[in-house]
Structure 1
Amino acid sequence: MDHRPTRTTPFHRTRVPLRALILALVVAFVPVAALAASSGQGTSQGNQAKDSKGMTVTLSPSSRTVDQGQSVTFTVAATSTGGFAGPVTFAVAGLPAGATASQSPSLVNLTSGSTAQVTLTVATATTTPATKTDFTIKASSGTTMSNTAPGQLQVLEVKRNFGVSGSVVGLLAPGVSRGVDLQINNTNNKSIAVTNLSVQISQVVRTPAAVAANLPCTAADYHIAQYTGSYPLTVEPGTSSLSRLNVPPGKWPQLKMLDTAQLQDGCKGATLKLTYSGTGQAN
């Protein structure tokens, strides 16, 4: 008796449901895994939002250029994040030497989700180095700190010309000193702070008679004491002088003819040509 038909029929009937069951399980597990991944991502974002409670700071514009001795302004915006609320102050670091910073207003109160702006004024001095400097500003409220916003300040050297001249008050004679009342001509439309003045003898012009007689007279027969007054001298636009600036005559440069044992007849009637120089800074 042949038993093969009886064995074949049950075997094929049991394999088909087994494959269907495996596929059904795979389909069922995929959505569950995706749901778990999605749930974990949402939790991470929630923690991140909770941890970001505080404030952010931006600076506009990020870079400014200013002349030495002048001021420039920036706009600082502080924004509440994560529901932060409270009083906020600002601090600037990294400014060049001689430069100072101030904010108006100096303090702002942030409410949840709000933004407040302050004006940052950076004032430079006439001695501030002419260079490009990176600085930073950040906000704080108790132990809560903002990000550090970068900024850049470029300070330009101010070059302005002014003239210096002078005249000796009175005649010279051996052993006699005369003051030189220096005149300062400021052709700029702003005041200048003069920080140095000097006088030199550039030439001694003898009379024709002294030249004919071959009588010598040189700069070695004279001595110059330089200006001893205080600096800086603030000179407004226009022409001024040491006397107009109320500098005592004893502080002026002094020109003296030396009283030597050698014959100085060649210096009688001689004319001295003087050169003047000065430096300063624009205000």
Structure 2
Amino acid sequence: MDHRSQRKTPVFRVGAPVRALLLALVVAFIPVTALAASGGQGTPSKAPKGITVSLTPSSRTVDQGQAATYTVIATSTGGFSGPVTFAAAGLPAGTTAALSPSSVSLPAGGTAQVTLTLGTEPTTAVAKTNFTVTGSSGTVKSNAAPGQLQVLEVKRSFGISGSVAGVLAPGTSRPIDLHLTNTSNKGFGVTNLTVAISQVVRTQTAVAANLPCTVSDYQLTQYSGTYPLSIPVGTSSLSGLGVPQAAWPHVKMLDTLQLQDGCKGATIHFTYSGTGQAD
């Protein structure tokens, strides 16, 4: 028997320590990954300080030589505060812009208003023009708020008369058929038709008997039809234009507690007005 000592080859278990090391690395990296993920879900960035501008109404229509007014509204965003001045751009030739006041102090989170007046000349081109209004405070600039100005030809001249069908008595109402005379060479639109009683003329008998009758014994209802009312060249009437009688002006004699014998046979004088506008 060989009694020589036998050398034992040591056995190293390397698998387990490597796995433990990898596990430790994984555990070490998890908090870093979680930290990176949480950093992407933090508080959103605050909106930059700024100014937002709007215009009301956004569109106006005027005749040549007239002025149009708008309200400019400035709103603070992102906590902006400070003085704001305004400017209009893109206006048609022959148009002036005036702002009142010329500047405002805009509080943080608040609003401020100014009045924009656009003046036209008799020679301003007849057109529909888009323009913009902006506000600024140093390097802070607002959006360009859109607006529109429509300039029309000067108003047209025309004549108005009227006729009342039937006899008035206390408590009765009669329609007034308006007659419109267009002496120009083309048709146009009419707006703002109004009727007023200028005078009540009593009979000689009522005057001699000192029986009163005044404008206060009557009541007027104004035209309620659609505008503009298009009238052709020549003379036309509400009835001829197909306007329903219910929309005509009406005159009513009131039924009062006072003696109204002075209104018997009285003549009522009316005055008429309206605005003629080129189509």
For the aligned pair, the TM-score class normalised by the smaller chain equals: 0.3 to 0.5
Bigger fraction of residues in helix:
1
TM-score (ref. length: structure 2):
0.48
